[in-house]
């Protein structure tokens, strides 16, 4: 097989992989809508305190799995911050969960230099990512309603205009 054939085969495999992921709702570009209970998890925050899934109830919460080495994660973070700032006074929260492979010192440095205004957890063991559907691709983001149910999952950067509309709808629910 020559170099051109090899490149063509690689492209075909890549397209097939993306197609399969898309059909499965993973490349979900703003994928699945589920309304299933958020999995029981304990998040260890940067300050050493802990938060559980039960603590999410009563607020609309964005749970964002990310990494400092993820280009898309870093690119979307200003929009995540802006969204948090826009809705925090209305019962909205954000929890950024750094992946297990992300060095804690990088996460702390990123959080401090970017002045992230919301809670940041480090998933040292990978248990939280596993519980939330075996998250491996970043960013993967879940929108959780006031009842603690996952309403939407996004793999990749969400469409923030549509996300804001959904947040507003969820905040209006009693």
Check whether residue 102 and residue 150 sit in a common domain: yes
For residue 144, give the H/E element and its range: strand 140-144
Maximum distance among all alpha carbons in the chain?
63
Residues of the chain with pLDDT > 70: what percent?
A: 80
Average pLDDT over the chain reads: 85
Check whether residue 149 and residue 83 sit in a common domain: yes
Check whether residue 124 and residue 135 sit in a common domain: yes
Considering only CA atoms, which of 101, 47, 27 is closest in space to residue 70? 101
Domain with residue 86: its CATH number is: 3.40.30.10
Tens-place pLDDT, residues 49-85: 999 999 999 999 999 999 999 999 999 999 999 999 9
For residue 61, the model assigns a pLDDT of 98
Please give the Cα distance from 80 to 108 (Å, whole number).
Answer: 17
Number of domains in the chain: 2
Tens-place pLDDT, residues 107-152: 999 999 999 999 999 999 999 999 999 999 999 999 999 999 999 9
- For residue 45, CA distances in Å to 97, 120, 126, 166, 170 come to 9, 6, 14, 27, 25
For residue 92, give the H/E element and its range: strand 92-98
Check whether residue 5 and residue 40 sit in a common domain: no
Please give the Cα distance from 11 to 165 (Å, whole number).
Answer: 36
Burial per residue of 96-133, b for 16 or more beta-carbon CB atoms within 10 angstroms, e otherwise: bbbbeebeeeebeebbeeeebebbbbbbeeeebbebbb
Q: Determine the structural domain holding residue 52 and report its residue range.
A: 31-172
């Amino acid at each position: 097989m020559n170099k051109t054939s090899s490149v063509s085969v690689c492209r075909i495999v890549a397209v097939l992989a993306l197609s399969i992921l898309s059909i499965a709702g993973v490349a979900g570009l703003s994928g699945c809508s589920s309304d299933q209970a958020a999995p029981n998890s304990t998040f260890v925050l940067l300050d050493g305190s802990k938060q559980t899934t039960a603590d999410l109830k009563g607020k609309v919460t964005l749970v964002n799995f990310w990494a400092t080495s993820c280009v898309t994660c870093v690119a979307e973070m200003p929009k995540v911050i802006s969204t948090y700032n826009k809705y925090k006074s209305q019962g909205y929260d954000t929890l950024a969960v750094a992946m297990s492979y992300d060095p804690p010192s990088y996460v702390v440095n990123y959080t401090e230099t970017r002045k992230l205004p919301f809670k940041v957890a480090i998933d040292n063991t990978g248990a939280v990512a596993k519980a939330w559907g075996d998250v491996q691709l970043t960013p993967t983001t879940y929108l959780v309603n006031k009842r603690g149910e996952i309403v939407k999952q996004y793999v990749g950067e969400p469409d923030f205009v549509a996300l804001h509309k959904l947040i507003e709808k969820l905040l209006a629910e009693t």
